[in-house]
Every structure is written in structure tokens, then in C-alpha cells.
Amino acid sequence: MSLRMLLSILRRHSLMPTLVLLQVALACAILCNVLFLVQQQLAPMLAPSGIAGNELILIDQLASRQKPWSAAEVRRGEQVLRQVPGVRDASAAFGLPMVAGLVDMSLQGGNGVKLGVNGYLGAGLVKTLGLDLVAGRDFLPDEYRDFGMGGDGNSKWDPGAQQPIIITQALADQLFDGGQALGKVMSDPGDADGHGYRVVGIVRHLLRNQLRLASDGRADNTVLLARRIGSTSMLSFAVRVDPAMKDSVREGVAAAIQREFGDTIKAGLVARVSFYNERRAQAFKSERAALWLFAGVTLAVVIVTVVGIMGLTGFWVQKRTRQIGIRRALGARRADILRYFLVENALIVMAGVIVGMLFALLGNGLLMRHYELPQLPWIYLPFGAALMLVLGQFAVLGPALRAARVPPVVATRSV
């Protein structure tokens, strides 16, 4: 049967095909947007942290009661933590992932691109966090400058000279042509008289603090600054431990913190001591719940659409039983009838997909305007289209097979 005939039949009986088309269009629009939302939610969860998560204990919620802790007290805290059995390394730090408090800054690279990044501050973080240094070197001990929060005058951000910086591979690729960042200088566009940063090392991965921004290739927008925590009224620590002694070492660390800072911590506060991986699971709890919801919606939309197409096509096949019988009597094979219904469905679904893409872009436009969502990438459209085609063919298979089984003798009866 020629395509022209098929189209003319569709035109003559346009109500049923229009309804199928509308169903497909709506389902396609919703599925494209839901898949996109899922991807947005998944990206931060799937981004590699670069951190040895089950070997890292994080300590925060430490605020001083009266006066800030001095740099010497912070150093002693690190020292005491290192002496706990099972501890391999300890650093006082700011801005770490899964820890309250963040350092954000803007950097301009050799190719003029400007990016917002999170900075991590603290001495020896490459070793403590267990980062994978792919090029260059760690900071040298004499490169660190003191920096504190709410402390005394030595906590100035800009020391008046070029500072060494360690960046991630992803940042090197974005900020420098060909990713050749080592030894190059970056500037801070927000700081007019800044002296810039010289890249001394590159680490493979390091997850940023702002998890909400950790999608669309921004998960690794993180730098390490050559700062040692000085006089400060807010403290947090990163402690690298022996994973074999997980449970005992946590208690040891908590006891050491209580001994060292228990008397000077703000009344009513209790320091939080927990593994990076536990905090990560906690931080993504809400996202995981949302993912289940999206999965449920996707499944429900798919089921409802398939059922709708099946019901409608089934009725249409029944209505045309006589015509099918006539065609069979005139020499059409079962395969011809089957193919006819499959092709017909494919045509309708394709038209529906085109309308659905328009709906999807329209819906995405609305979401973008009101909810700060990024543009729906084009790649989702053919993907959604393919999914709908498969679903359509699957839904029509049953009715089409039933149609193919109609015997030619039906043509001679009045139904």
C-alpha cells in the first residue's frame, strides 16, 4: 500500500490520529524535561570528588566562646589530632566540601575566560584530602600565609604578592588554551590591584563546596590556596585516617577535639565529627528523594501513554475490520497488514514528536524564566523522539497483530 493512500486515510479520519498525536506530543514534552531535570539532579551526585571519602573525617561547628583562637592554638589542635592513633594527617581548613562555610572567588585565566570557583584553604590539604596531583607540585611549607576569620590583623586576604595556587584539571582545560596551565598566571577580576595567582600544581578532581552549582561541567571548579589557618573564631578540620581503624579513630578524634577545644567552644555548641562519605549521603538525601519522584513520574507517563495508544488503536482496528478483510481478500498478506499499522503508527508518532519537541522547548522556556534552569540541550530531543517511537511501536504491536489475524472471509460478511 502506498504512502499516499495511507496519508489520505489518515486525513479522512483525522480524529483518532490527532488524539494519538496529542498524547505522544504531551508525553514527549514531559519526558524530555523530566530526563533533563534528572540529569541536573544526578550530575552533582555522580561527579567524582577526588577525595578519599572513607578515609577522611571532617570536624566543624567549632566557634570560639570569647576571643578568637590564636594561630598557635590552631597549630596545637592539628598536632593533637595527628597524635590520635589511626590518624595519618590533619589540617585546619576553610571551605571544604560538605562543611558549613564557603570561600567563593572569581578567576580569569590565560584565555580570558572568567569562572566562579570555590577556594579551599588550609596547610597540607593535598595530602590530607588524598588528592591526585597530576602535574606540578604541592605548596612548599614556606609558601603558606596565615588567614583566619574574625581574628586579628594577620588575616588579610591579599598579601601584596603573587600567590601560588593549585587548580583542578577541569579548570586548567577551561581557563588555558590546550590545558597548559602549569606556571601560568591567573588574575582575580573582582580585585583590581590583585597580584594574581601562579599555578604550581594540578589535581585530577576536587569537588566544589557549592553542590547546587556542581552540574554542567562546573563540579570541579575548585582551587587550593596557599593559606594556613591563623587566628580565627571559626574552625574546621580535615583528618585523614587509617580506614582499617574507622570506628575507634572517630572516637579518638572526637575525644581529642573535646579535650583541646571543649573549654573554649561557644556555650551550647557541640563539634560535629563525621566521615566525608556520611555527610555526602546526608547532603544528597533530598536529591535522592526527588530522583525517586522523577522516576515514578516517568514510569507513570510511559504507562498511561502506552495504554492510551493501545486502547485507541485497538478500537480503530476493530472499526476497520471489514476493510482489512477486503484487503486480505484482494491479496494482501498478513505481513502487509501488520506493516501497514506499524508504519501508520510511526508516522503519527513522528508527527507527535515534532509537536512534542515544540512543547518541550516551550515548557523549558517557561521553567528557565521562573526557576533558573539552564537551556534544554538539543541532545535530549532526538533521544526523547527515539524513546517515543519505540513506545509507539510497542503499544501498537498488539492491535496490529490482531488486525493481521483478520481472515479474508470477513470481507464477504457484513460486520
Is 268 one of the binding residues for other proteins (CB under 8 A)? Answer: yes
Is 156 one of the binding residues for other proteins (CB under 8 A)? Answer: no
Note whether 23 and 309 are within 8 A (CB): yes
* Among positions 286, 362, 377, 407, the unique one binding other proteins when judged by CB under 8 A: 286
Is 192 one of the binding residues for other proteins (CB under 8 A)? Answer: no
List the end-to-end C-alpha distance of the chain, in Å, as a whole number.
23
Which stretch, 13-21, 92-100, 124-132, 349-357, contacts other proteins (CB under 8 A)?
Answer: 13-21
* Surface-to-core class of residue 36, CB atoms within 10 Å of its CB (0-12 exposed, 13-18 middle, 19+ buried): buried
Using the minimum distance from each CB to other proteins, give the nearer residue, 26 or 172.
Answer: 26
Is 311 one of the binding residues for other proteins (CB under 8 A)? Answer: yes
Which stretch, 172-180, 252-260, 298-306, 331-339, contacts other proteins (CB under 8 A)?
Answer: 298-306
* Among positions 81, 229, 312, 396, the unique one binding other proteins when judged by CB under 8 A: 312
Measured from the CB of residue 37, what is the shortest distance to other proteins in angstroms? Answer: 7
* Surface-to-core class of residue 183, CB atoms within 10 Å of its CB (0-12 exposed, 13-18 middle, 19+ buried): exposed
Which stretch, 42-50, 75-83, 241-249, 267-275, contacts other proteins (CB under 8 A)?
Answer: 267-275
Which stretch, 17-25, 52-60, 88-96, 325-333, contacts other proteins (CB under 8 A)?
Answer: 17-25
Counting residues that bind other proteins (by CB under 8 A) gives 51
* Among positions 293, 295, 362, 386, the unique one binding other proteins when judged by CB under 8 A: 293
Q: Which stretches within 180-219 are classed as H helix?
A: none
Is 37 one of the binding residues for other proteins (CB under 8 A)? Answer: yes
Is 369 one of the binding residues for other proteins (CB under 8 A)? Answer: no
- CB neighbours of residue 247 within 10 Å: 8
* Among positions 46, 100, 270, 409, the unique one binding other proteins when judged by CB under 8 A: 270
Measured from the CB of residue 410, what is the shortest distance to other proteins in angstroms? Answer: 14
Name which of 39, 6, 35, 2 is nearest 341 in CA terms: 6
Is 23 one of the binding residues for other proteins (CB under 8 A)? Answer: yes
Note whether 363 and 31 are within 8 A (CB): no
Is 367 one of the binding residues for other proteins (CB under 8 A)? Answer: yes
Name which of 411, 409, 399, 257 is nearest 340 in CA terms: 399
Q: Within positions 82 to 141, which residues make up the interface with other proteins, using CB under 8 A?
A: none
| Cβ-based neighbours of 249, under 8 Å, separated by 6 or more | 57, 84, 85, 86, 87, 241, 242
Is 11 one of the binding residues for other proteins (CB under 8 A)? Answer: no
Cell triple for 10: 489518515
Is 254 one of the binding residues for other proteins (CB under 8 A)? Answer: no
How much is the CA Rg of the chain, to the nearest whole Å?
31
For residue 32, which amino acid is it?
Answer: C
Please say whether the dihedral angle defined by the alpha carbons of residues 226, 228, 233 and 238, taken in this order, is positive or negative.
positive
* Surface-to-core class of residue 267, CB atoms within 10 Å of its CB (0-12 exposed, 13-18 middle, 19+ buried): exposed
* Among positions 13, 76, 156, 319, the unique one binding other proteins when judged by CB under 8 A: 319
d(CA 261, CA 255): 10
* Among positions 128, 232, 305, 345, the unique one binding other proteins when judged by CB under 8 A: 305
Q: Which residues bind other proteins (CB under 8 A)?
A: 15-16, 19-20, 22-23, 26-27, 29-30, 33-34, 37, 65, 67, 150, 210, 266-270, 282, 285-286, 289-290, 292-294, 297, 300-301, 304-305, 307-308, 311-312, 314-316, 318-319, 363, 367, 370-372, 414-415
